[in-house]
Amino acid sequence: MLSRQQMEKVFDEIDRLEEYGRQANREVRTLLFELRPITLESRGLISAIESYHRQLTRSTQLKINVGVNHIPDDIPPKAANAIFSIIQEAVNNVRKHAAATEIWLSIHVDNGQFSLAIEDDGSGFDYDAVLEKYDELGSFGILNMNERTTLLGGKLEVLSPRPDGENGTRISVIVPLVNLYEQESPKVK
């Protein structure tokens, strides 16, 4: 028979294991969402961003601010996937490297331009050094974001420190709105 002290240790261990299980469940859900955001396919870009925001809020300590204005509901799937992938990559970079406490995500359409900005209050980085040594560092995230932006016919800009002189990084993507609608999904025969 276990003593009272031994029983307390057993219950403490059970509590600890339950918390590990809950954390593992959150991490698996986040990973599955990042691999295949079903909301993106079924309900579009804005719903996917809202769902991603909820998922991040549950799974990270970061304060995440999202602002979405005047975004059409009918952005073609290929363009929506590219935009969503850029957002995911930028947020993952912040989570892995920036030591940030807050992220700002802003998406809007103005004067025929689709604009996306992801900012953080983290440590920032030397953008030119990363570009020069990406193959040595095994860091392809920025290159992937740039390629996706280029395929959309847009422009990616990385500013670190942010333009206001604050610590952190600002990643901006600007794409002519008409270009998003030229991104048709392949036809199935």
CATH number, residue 152:
3.30.565.10
Q: What is the pLDDT of residue 33?
A: 55
* Residue 30 pLDDT: 60
3-state helix/strand/coil string of the chain = CCCHHHHHHHHHHHHHHHHHHHHHHHHHHHHHHHHCCHHHHHHCHHHHHHHHHHHHHHHCCCEEEEEEECCCCCCCHHHHHHHHHHHHHHHHHHHHHHCCCEEEEEEEEECCEEEEEEEECCCCCCHHHHHHCHHHHCCCHHHHHHHHHHHCCCEEEEECCCCCCCCCCEEEEEEEHHHHCCCCCCCCC
User: In this structure, is residue 117 part of a structural domain?
Assistant: yes
pLDDT tens figures, 73-106: 889 988 999 999 999 999 999 998 889 999 999 9
Assess if residue 121 is contained within a domain: yes
The number of folded domains in the chain is 1
Q: Is residue 112 included in any domain, yes or no?
A: yes
**Average pLDDT of the residues of the chain:** 85
Of 36-40, 124-128, 173-177, give the lowest mean pLDDT range.
36-40
